[in-house]
């Protein structure tokens, strides 16, 4: 598939096009012109994506006056509060990625084994798109309406069932609460990412396994499982970065006492005027980039392997 | 939330372009055992139940009236709240600018890499997917100085919330790229371009009138994703202190939780309806394209 459109425009095509348009310029000049047409795109991405990244990378290693320093970056490793923050963020991301991957994976399986053109499938996919991407602040409010001090479930348990469970809603405003809400948006993201891979498992493989006397279990154990493993792992990494870089939900739920990296960065950004703090936000940001870039690199490697079977 | 690969990933399915990834064999329902059926129903009830519960709670919470009655007052209050109206207006304007900017920037570039400089295709793809590896909160840190500069040197234009479109275009690149790419792969754009150019069309006309209509599905998905992303964007607008929809909802949450939950619920429903509509529309389109393109191959 990749080759079909990638290889089609060979030199022959360029020739025809230039003949048709009656160009007389030399091949080399035309070649340079071809690249020049991509200039607006490169300029734009350079200005709004590469330049900000450079500002972070350079800022993290300089003082506000522009002198080189390692103070900001070394704080990432020496300041125990900062280290703790990174650890908490990573724990939160790992935990919710695993939870989201398991429940989302199961949901994806349940949806895939249904009617491929059915209403359930369409609704679940569209709803997942909304919940996985659109969420943030609104999902935090959804959970306040559910488990907050006056939330539906809280009131139900307290006034109707009379169980002393979850009555103290302050757990929602802590890391536990964050984990619950994060898992909530990880599930639909998992569904979206994992569904195409599940679709790639062919009925023929299942039939082949069955005709050799394999049970449903042995099919998943020896065929389906190993084929899906790279996709599952890739999705897990994607979920990790998603939770690790999430900010909106945390900002809406946790108003004080920043305890995860994204909140810490927001705090640093707002207190940049404090002497000695100026470029610390950039160091934190650099730390995030390094972690996410590493995970995404793993993801790319795994993805290459996963794509072998999912055609 | 941050830029995360979302439902467009299903667009990256081999079928090319369809928002809903459809499995190869249409009637490929796996005939499972009774145990499987029970497991499937149990999973659907438990997991979907967990997903639906907070949404139902939002509806319940936002319709609470005095003494246990039900009222739609919170929803009525949305329309009377000038901040909400301003936030929605601002976000919609940013969304329009983002969609236009994204298409103008991306479509010609992608078509060009396919037809004339295939060597650059991977570079462009890499750059487009790069925002996935840079969390939104990190981008804010790096872009804040640039926006500060724009605010100081570009007058009213530089200080307008509409400048958020610049950064939103970057955020939407990965999703837009995937959506357009899968459509572009399903057509033979080189031949189409040759045909158009041999009939005397210039490049602008070739791209706008010949290629673009053939990748309508991808363009549409990209546009919808961009709109959803802009309407849901909070991190960057809040930290750059622009009052977009999400920032208004956030602030409202501290003043009037009932109205803020009502707005949130309305926004989620709106996004859901938008996605359903577009899935049906784009799905129908691409199904036709796909038949035309792929049948000769088999």
Interface predicted TM-score (ipTM): 0.79
Q: Is residue B70 part of a domain?
A: no
Q: Is residue B32 part of a domain?
A: no
Q: What is the DSSP letter of B64?
A: B
Q: Which residues pair with A68 in a beta bridge?
A: A62
Name the nearest CA neighbour of A191 among B50, B287, B228.
B50
Q: How far apart are the C-alpha atoms of A34 and A25, rounded to whole Å?
A: 12
Q: Is residue A182 part of a domain?
A: yes
Minimal CA separation from B208 to chain A, in Å: 16
Number of domains making up chain B: 1
Domain that holds residue B232: 7-15+80-294
Q: Is residue A20 part of a domain?
A: no
Residue of chain B nearest A58, judged by CA positions: B142
Name the nearest CA neighbour of A94 among A193, A242, A257.
A242
Q: How confident is the model at residue B265 (pLDDT cuts 50, 70, 90)?
A: very high
Say yes or no: B150 contacts chain A, CB-CB below 8 A: no
B176-201: average pLDDT: 86
Q: Is residue B251 part of a domain?
A: yes
Domain that holds residue A298: 79-306
A54/B272 Cβ within 8 A = no
pLDDT at B285 over 60: no
Q: How far apart are the C-alpha atoms of A154 and A175, rounded to whole Å?
A: 19
Residue of chain A nearest B270, judged by CA positions: A130
In chain A, alpha helices (H)? 2-7, 11-21, 27-36, 39-45, 51-59, 71-78, 80-112, 119-133, 137-147, 152-155, 175-199, 203-211, 216-219, 225-244, 248-253, 261-270, 280-306
A106/B21 Cβ within 8 A = no
Q: Within a 10 A sphere around the Cβ of A9, how many other Cβ atoms?
A: 24
Q: Is residue B37 part of a domain?
A: no
Q: How far apart are the C-alpha atoms of B140 and A49, rounded to whole Å?
A: 10
Say yes or no: B279 contacts chain A, CB-CB below 8 A: yes
Query: What backbone torsions phi and psi does residue B70 show, to the nearest 5 degrees?
Result: -110, 140
B 63-102 residues with CB < 8 A to A = none
Q: Is residue B30 part of a domain?
A: no
B30/A206 Cβ within 8 A = yes
Residues of A in contact with B193 (CB under 8 A): 17
Q: How far apart are the C-alpha atoms of A202 and A222, rounded to whole Å?
A: 14
B22 Ramachandran zone, left/alpha/beta (phi>0; psi -120 to 50) = beta
Q: Is residue A67 part of a domain?
A: no
Low-confidence residues of chain A: pLDDT under 50? 1-24, 311
Q: What is the pLDDT of residue A270?
A: 80
pLDDT at B290 over 50: no
Q: Is residue B91 part of a domain?
A: yes
Residues of A in contact with B245 (CB under 8 A): none
Query: Which tops the pLDDT comparison, B237 or B28?
Result: B237
Q: Is residue B71 part of a domain?
A: no
Q: Is residue A24 part of a domain?
A: no
Please report, for the domain that includes residue B193, its CATH number.
1.10.3720.10
- Positive/negative CA dihedral, B125, B127, B128, B132: positive
Q: What is the pLDDT of residue A257?
A: 63
Please report, for the domain that includes residue A110, its CATH number.
1.10.3720.10
Residue in B136, B170, B232 closest to A245 by CB? B136
Asked whether B162 and B97 are in contact (CB, 8 A), the reply is yes
Q: Is residue A243 part of a domain?
A: yes
Q: Is residue B266 part of a domain?
A: yes
Q: Is residue A64 part of a domain?
A: no
Say yes or no: B107 contacts chain A, CB-CB below 8 A: no
Residue of chain B nearest A248, judged by CA positions: B1
Give the distance, in angstroms, between the CA of residue A154 and the centroid of all CA atoms in the same chain. Answer: 31
Q: Is residue A69 part of a domain?
A: no
Residue in B57, B109, B279 closest to A142 by CB? B57
Q: Is residue A23 part of a domain?
A: no
Picking from A133, A279, A289 by the largest number of B CB atoms within 10 A of its own CB, the best residue to mutate is: A133
Asked whether B13 and A196 are in contact (CB, 8 A), the reply is yes
Give residue-wise pLDDT tens across range B175-186.
899 888 888 888
Q: How far apart are the C-alpha atoms of A232 and A94, rounded to whole Å?
A: 14
Number of domains making up chain A: 1
Residue of chain B nearest A263, judged by CA positions: B137
A49/B120 Cβ within 8 A = no
Task: Look at A212-226, B137-151, B278-292 and tell me which has the smallest mean pLDDT.
Answer: B278-292
In B63-130, alpha helices (H)? 73-80, 82-115, 121-129
* C-alpha angle B177-B182-B186 in degrees, rounded to nearest 5: 145
């Amino acid at each position: 598939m990749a080759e079909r459109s990638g290889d089609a425009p060979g030199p022959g095509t360029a020739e025809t096009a230039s003949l048709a348009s009656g160009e007389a310029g030399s091949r080399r000049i035309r070649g340079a012109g071809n690249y020049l047409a991509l200039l607006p795109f490169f300029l734009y991405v350079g200005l709004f994506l590469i330049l900000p990244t450079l500002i972070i990378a350079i800022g993290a290693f300089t003082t506000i006056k522009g002198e080189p320093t390692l103070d900001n970056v070394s704080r990432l490793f020496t300041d125990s509060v900062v280290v703790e923050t990174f650890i908490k963020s990573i724990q939160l991301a790992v935990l919710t990625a695993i939870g989201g991957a398991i429940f989302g994976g199961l949901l994806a399986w349940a949806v895939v084994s249904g009617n491929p053109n059915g209403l359930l499938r369409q609704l679940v996919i569209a709803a997942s798109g909304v919940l996985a991407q659109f969420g943030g602040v609104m999902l935090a409010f959804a959970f306040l309406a559910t488990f907050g001090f006056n939330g539906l479930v809280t009131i139900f348990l307290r006034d109707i069932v009379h169980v002393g469970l979850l009555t103290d809603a302050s757990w929602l405003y802590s890391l536990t609460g964050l984990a619950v809400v994060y898992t909530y948006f990880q599930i639909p993201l998992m569904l979206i990412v994992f569904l195409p891979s599940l679709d790639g498992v062919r009925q023929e493989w299942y039939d082949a396994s069955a005709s050799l006397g394999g049970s449903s279990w042995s099919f998943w154990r020896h065929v389906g499982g190993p084929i899906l493993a790279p996709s599952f792992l890739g999705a897990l990494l994607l979920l990790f970065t998603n939770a690790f870089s999430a900010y909106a939900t945390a900002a809406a739920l946790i108003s004080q006492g920043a305890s995860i990296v994204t909140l810490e960065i927001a705090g640093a950004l707002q207190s940049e005027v404090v002497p000695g703090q100026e470029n610390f936000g950039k160091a934190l940001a650099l730390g995030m980039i390094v972690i996410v870039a590493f995970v995404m690199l793993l993801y790319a490697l795994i993805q290459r392997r996963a794509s072998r079977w999912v055609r | 939330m941050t830029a995360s690969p979302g439902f467009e990933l299903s667009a990256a399915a081999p079928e090319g372009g369809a928002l809903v990834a459809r499995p190869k064999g249409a009637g490929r329902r796996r005939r499972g055992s009774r145990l499987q059926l029970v497991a499937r129903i149990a999973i659907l009830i438990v997991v979907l139940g967990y997903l639906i519960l907070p949404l139902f709670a939002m509806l319940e919470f936002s319709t609470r009236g005095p003494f246990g009655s039900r009222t739609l007052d919170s929803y009525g209050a949305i329309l009377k709240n000038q901040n909400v109206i301003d936030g929605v207006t601002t976000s919609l304007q940013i969304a329009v600018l983002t969609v236009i900017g994204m298409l103008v920037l991306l479509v010609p570039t992608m078509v060009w890499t396919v037809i004339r400089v295939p060597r650059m295709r991977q570079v462009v793809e890499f750059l487009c997917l790069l925002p996935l590896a840079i969390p939104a909160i990190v981008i804010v840190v790096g872009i804040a100085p640039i926006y500060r500069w724009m605010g100081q040197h570009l007058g009213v234009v530089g200080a307008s919330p509409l400048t958020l479109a610049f950064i939103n275009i970057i955020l939407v690149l990965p999703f837009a790229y995937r959506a357009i790419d899968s459509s572009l792969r399903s057509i033979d754009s080189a031949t189409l371009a040759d045909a158009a150019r041999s009939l005397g069309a210039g490049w602008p006309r070739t791209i706008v009138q010949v290629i673009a209509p053939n990748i309508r599905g991808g363009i549409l998905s990209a546009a919808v994703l961009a709109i959803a992303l802009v309407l849901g964007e909070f991190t960057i607008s809040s930290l750059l202190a622009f009052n977009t929809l999400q920032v208004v909802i956030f602030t409202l949450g501290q003043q009037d939780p009932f109205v803020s939950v009502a707005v949130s619920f309305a926004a989620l429903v709106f996004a859901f309806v938008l996605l359903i509509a577009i899935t049906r529309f784009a799905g129908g389109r691409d199904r036709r394209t796909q038949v035309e393109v792929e049948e000769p191959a088999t």
